[in-house]
Amino acid sequence: MPKKPNAAFALSLSGAILMLISGWATFRWVREGMVAGWGGPWGSMMGGWHMMWGSLPWLGLLSGIVVLIGAILIYAKPEQSVGWGIVILIFSVLSLWGMGGFFIGAVLGIIGGALAISWQPQTTQ
C-alpha cells in the first residue's frame, strides 16, 4: 500500500482553512463597513465597495477553495501530488493579495505545496 504525503496534506489543509477564514472576514468587514473610515457598505471616495476590489478579499476566498481542493486531492490521489502541489503553491502566493490567511495561511500553503512537489511515492512491504 503506497504511503501518502501526510505533511503536505496537513499543511495545505491548515493554510486553506486560514485563507477561507481571513477571506470571509475581510469580505464581511469591507461589505459592512466595519473597518473605521471605510464609509459603510456603499462607500465613499476611499472605502466601501471600492475597497472590496482594492483589497481583493474575494481572491482570498477563491484561493482558499482551490487550496482546499488541492489538499484533499493530494491525499486522495498521491500519484498526482506534483500537479496539485504546483496549484497549491500558485494559489497560496496569489492569496497574499487577499490577506493570505492572515499571512500564516499563505506560508503554510507554500510549504505544503513545496512538500507535495518534492514528495516521492514509496510502497511498504
pLDDT of 34: 57
Q: Which three cell numbers stand for residue 100?
A: 493570505
Q: State the Cα–Cα distance between residues 113 and 8, nearest whole angstrom.
A: 6
- How do residues 20-44 score in pLDDT, each as one tens digit? 999 888 878 777 765 555 455 545 4
User: What values do phi and psi take at 4, rounded to 5?
Assistant: -115, 155
Q: Would you say residue 114 lies in a domain?
A: yes
pLDDT of 6: 96
pLDDT of 50: 47
Split into its structural domains, the chain has a count of 1
Q: Would you say residue 61 lies in a domain?
A: yes
CB 15 within 8 A of CB 101: yes
Q: Would you say residue 47 lies in a domain?
A: no
**Amino acid code (one letter) for 36:** A
CB 65 within 8 A of CB 40: no
Q: How confident is the model at residue 1 (pLDDT cuts 50, 70, 90)?
A: low
Q: Would you say residue 75 lies in a domain?
A: yes
CB 101 within 8 A of CB 64: yes
Q: Which three cell numbers stand for residue 2?
A: 503506497
Q: Measuring CA to CA, how many Å separate 50 from each of 33, 47, 72?
A: 11, 6, 34
| Percent of the chain residues topping a pLDDT of 90 | 58
Indicate whether 103 pLDDT > 60: yes
Q: Would you say residue 76 lies in a domain?
A: yes
Q: For residue 51, what is the enclosing H or E element?
A: helix 49-55
Q: Would you say residue 98 lies in a domain?
A: yes
pLDDT of 60: 86
Q: Would you say residue 40 lies in a domain?
A: no
User: What values do phi and psi take at 99, rounded to 5?
Assistant: 90, -15
Domain that holds residue 97: 6-27+56-118
- How do residues 48-98 score in pLDDT, each as one tens digit? 544 445 557 788 899 999 999 999 999 999 999 999 999 999 999 999 987
